[in-house]
Amino acid sequence: MRRLVIRWRLLGLALSCVAVCAAVRADASLHALWELHGKHNTVYILGSIHVLRPTDYPLAPAILNAYSNAKSIFMEVNLQEIDPQRMQMELLASARLPEGKTLPSIMGKERYERAGVLAREVGVDIGIFDAFAPWFVAEAISQLQLQQLGFQPKSGVEMFFLEHARSDAKPVAGLETVHDQIALFDALSMDEQADYLLSSLKEAHDLPKEVDDMVHAWRRGDTVWFADQLKSEFGRDPDLYESLLVARNRKWVPKIEALLNDDKNYLVIVGTGHLVGQGSVIELLGKDGIIATQR
């Protein structure tokens, strides 16, 4: 499950009183959607899944209504500003190992051979990735699996609303940049990356059930399910939890709070894991006295 946690920025369970009240109410009538109220406006915060299947649509009316009521959209990254070709080049440049280094030399003989066996079980020759960092190999193999299961980036929540925002001429902005997101993986030590790759491959056979469970939990606004998954995984690695999720949440919260001083409504879309668990956006807002109501 860890690779899903990292990929979709999911996240220990120590919710604030407000967040706990919202979580225990999670049922079919709720969604991964929260509502904040300023003096003159409403800010909606939607938890997303970055890749979905076309069959996962349509979205719930409450989510579509939040978009309709918003005059402007915020996402983790402003996808309108991204040049796909340039981003791909930057990603590959960041993922490529320095001259003289290879995946086998980084991982060591035992771990590399084990990774090779596990990769073959899902139909991948790990040797084609020998020039790349372990984090990139884990992502590439998992993306191949997701595509085989029918998940498509163009069907993700962000892309869905980006297309609508373009059609409706609604402004789109980002809470961080692509460079910030790539740097998250660059900051991991090679040993941490090697362990991440192995854990991803060990869980490969469970991926179909895991993603189905995740989508179902997301559709019913089941914050308890997400919090339990995150507690199970990141309880073993608090430093990774801090760097990938909590530190970013702390940077985002002042930007979200500033939106409450405006007179127009906003829709903020971030990975669902940023909205549950200890140090979540919802918890941090609660500590600042801002009530977020789950819808």
As a whole number of Å, the end-to-end CA separation of the chain is 27
Distance between CA atoms of residues 121 and 116, nearest Å = 9
Distance between CA atoms of residues 210 and 285, nearest Å = 30
pLDDT the model gives residue 291 = 95
pLDDT the model gives residue 21 = 32
Judge residue 94's burial from the number of C-beta atoms within 10 Å of its C-beta, 0-12 exposed, 13-18 middle, 19 or more buried: middle
* Angstrom distances, CA of residue 63 to CA of 30, 53, 80: 10, 17, 21
pLDDT the model gives residue 47 = 97
Distance between CA atoms of residues 217 and 227, nearest Å = 11
Contact 270, 75 (CB under 8 A): yes
pLDDT the model gives residue 16 = 27
Distance between CA atoms of residues 275 and 32, nearest Å = 9
Distance between CA atoms of residues 138 and 153, nearest Å = 17
**pLDDT mean values, one per 10 residues, the chain (295 residues):** 41 28 46 97 96 94 98 94 79 91 96 96 95 94 91 91 97 92 84 91 87 94 91 75 91 98 98 94 98 96
At position 87, the amino acid (one-letter code) is M
* Angstrom distances, CA of residue 158 to CA of 74, 76, 124, 155, 262: 10, 9, 29, 8, 23
Q: How many CA atoms lie within 13 A of 119 on its CB side?
A: 23
Distance between CA atoms of residues 99 and 49, nearest Å = 36
Stretch (H or E) spanning 267:
strand 266-271
Distance between CA atoms of residues 46 and 31, nearest Å = 9
Instruction: Kindly report the pTM of this predicted structure.
Output: 0.86
pLDDT the model gives residue 141 = 93
